Structure 1
Amino acid sequence: MCGIVGWVDFTRDLRLEGATVRAMTATMALRGPDAEGIWLREHVGFGHRRLAVIDLATGDQPMTVERDGRTLAAITYSGEVYNYRELRDELRGRGHEFRTESDTEVVLRAYLEWGEGFVDRLNGMYAFGLWDTREQRLLLVRDRMGIKPLFFFTGLAEGVLFGSEPKAVFAHPETEPVVDTDGLRELLSFARTPGHGVYRDLHEVRPGELIRVDRDGVHRRRYWQPGYQEHRDDLDTTIRTVRELLDDIVRRQIIADVPLCTLLSGGLDSSVITALAAAGLAEGGGGPLRSFAVDFVGQAENFRPDSMRDTPDAPYVHDVVKHVHTAHEDIVLDTATLMDPLTRSAVLTATDLPTGMGDLFTSLYLLFRSVRERSTVALSGEAADEVFGGYRWFHDPRVVNADTFPWVAMLPQSQRTVLDLDLLRSLRLTEYRADAYRDALAEVDHGPDTDPHNRRMREFSYLHLTRFVQILLDRKDRMSMAHGLEVRVPFCDHRLVQYVYNTPWAMKTYDGREKSLLRGATADVLPASVVARMKSPYPSTQDARYEQALRDQLGRVLDDSPARVLLDEREVRALRESAFEHDGFGASRRSIEQVLSLDLWLRRTPTRIVG
Structure 2
Amino acid sequence: MCGVAGWVDFERDLTVRQDVLTAMTATMACRGPDSEGHWAGRHALLGHRRLAVIDLATGQQPMHGPAGAPRHAPQAVITFSGEIYNYRELRAELAGRGHRFRTGSDTEVVLTAYLEWGEDFTERLNGMFGFALWDTRSERLLLVRDRLGVKPLYYLPLPGGLLFGSEPKAIWAHPGAAPVVDLDGLRELFALAKTPGHAVYRGMYEVRPGHLLRLTRSGLRDRAYWTLPTAEHTDTPADTVGTVRELLDDTVRRQLVADVPRCTLLSGGLDSSAITALAARHLAAEDSGPLASFAVDFTEGPAAAPRATGPAPGEPAPAQDAPGHPPAYSPDRPYAHAVAAHTGTAHTDIVLPVADLADPLYRTAALTARDLPVGRGERDTSLYLLFKAVRRHSTVALSGESADELFGGYGWFHDRRALGWGTFPWIDEHGPGFARALDRLLAPDLRERLDLAGYRRRRYHEALAEVEHLPGIDSPRERRMREVGHLALTRFLPRLLERKDRMSMATGLEARVPFCDHRLVGYVHNVPWALKTHDGREKSLLRAAVRDLLPAAVTDRPKSPYPSTPHRSYTRAVGEQFARLAADRDQPVHALLAPDWLTEAAARATAPAADALDDYLARYGMETALLLNDWLRRVPVRLEL
Instruction: Give how far 1:89 is off.
Output: 0.4
Separation in 2, partners of 1:199, 1:232: 45
Which secondary structure does the structure 2 equivalent of 1:495 belong to? helix
Counterparts of 1:572 and 1:515 in 2: how far apart (Å)? 41
Correspondence for 1:442: 465
Q: Do residues 128 (structure 1) and 131 (structure 2) align?
A: yes
Superposed, 1:94-133 pairs within 5 Å as 94-133=97-136
What is the aligned counterpart of 1:427 among 450, 464, 481?
450
Correspondences of 1:169-248 after superposition (within 5 Å): 169-248=171-250
Q: CA deviation at 1:159?
A: 1.7
SS in 1 for 2:155: strand
Once the two structures are TM-superposed, the CA of residue 313 in structure 1 deviates from its matched residue by: 1.0
Q: Structure 1: any 5+ residue segments left out of the alignment?
A: none
Which residue identity is paired with 2:117? W
Structure 1 distance, partners of 2:338, 2:600, is: 44
Q: 1:99 to 1:356 in 2, by over 3 A?
A: closer
Map Cα deviations across residues 324-349 of structure 1 (whole Å, 9 max, x no partner). 11111111112211112221111111
Q: Distance in 1 between matches of 2:354 and 2:467?
A: 43
Is 2:30 aligned against 1:30?
yes
Q: 1:77 aligns with which of 80, 87, 104?
A: 80
Mind listing any 5+ residue stretches in structure 2 that lack a counterpart? 302-313
Per the TM alignment, residue 382 of structure 1 is displaced from its structure 2 partner at its CA by 0.8
Alignment of 1:480 onto 2:478: no
CA distance in 2, matches of 1:334, 1:371: 16
Q: Give the residue type in structure 2 aligned to 1:27.
A: T
CA distance in 2, matches of 1:99, 1:509: 50
In structure 1, the residue matched to 2:352 is 333
**Residue 77 of structure 1: how far off its partner (Å):** 0.2
| Residue matched to 1:514 | 538
Distance 1:89 1:576 in 2: 64
* Corresponding residue for residue 253 of structure 1: 255
Q: Does 1:152 find its partner at 2:155?
A: yes
Quote how far apart the aligned CAs of 1:592 are: 1.2
Report the AA paired with residue 93 of structure 1.
G
SS of corresponding position for 1:288: coil
Q: 1:381 to 1:46 in 2, by over 3 A?
A: same
Is the CA contact (8 Å cut-off) linking 1:540 and 1:584 kept in structure 2? no
Aligned residue identity for 1:4: V
In structure 2, distance between residues paired with 1:585 and 1:84: 50
**Equivalent in 347, 371, 384 of residue 390 of structure 2:** 371
The match for 2:363 is: 344
Q: Secondary structure at the match of 1:242?
A: helix
**Map of 2:43 onto structure 1:** 43
Per the normalisation by structure 2, the TM-score is 0.93
Calculate the aligned-residue CA RMSD, in Å.
Answer: 1.8
Distance 1:443 1:260 in 2: 38
Q: Alpha-carbon deviation of 1:583?
A: 6.0
* Alpha-carbon distance in structure 1 between the residues aligned to 2:317 and 2:86: 43
Counterpart for residue 618 of structure 2? 588
| Structure 2 CA distance for aligned equivalents of residues 345 and 56 of structure 1 | 32
Measure the CA separation in 2 of the matches of 1:529 and 1:450. 35
CA deviation map 1:237-271 (0-9, x unaligned): 00000000011000111111000000000100000
Matches within 5 A, 1:419-568: 419-448=442-471, 449-558=473-582, 559=584, 560-568=586-594
Shift of 1:607: 0.6
Name the residue aligned to 2:306. Answer: none
C-alpha separation in 2, matches of 1:606 and 1:197: 16
Contact 2:327 2:564 in 1 (8 A): no
Q: What is the match of residue 401 of structure 2?
A: 382
- Report the CA distance shift for 1:463/1:455 in structure 2 as closer, same or farther (over 3 A): same
2:317 and 2:553 mapped to 1: Cα distance? 18
Aligned-residue sequence identity (percent) comes to: 58
Task: Report the CA distance between 1:431 and its aligned residue.
Answer: 1.2
Q: Between Structure 1 and Structure 2, how many residues are aligned?
A: 610
Question: Which TM-score applies when normalising by structure 1?
Answer: 0.97
Shift of 1:451: 1.1
- What amino acid sits opposite 1:22 in the alignment? T
Task: Report the alpha carbon displacement of residue 206 of structure 1 after superposing the two structures with TM.
Answer: 0.6
What corresponds to 1:137 in structure 2? 140
For residues 599 and 402 of structure 2, the distance between their equivalents in structure 1, rounded to whole angstroms, comes to: 37
C-alpha change, 1:562 and 1:496, in structure 2 (3 Å) is same
> Which region of structure 1 is more displaced relative to structure 2, 577-586 or 334-343?
577-586
- TM-superposed CA distance for 1:475, in Å, is 0.3
**How far apart are residue 406 of structure 1 and its match?**
1.4
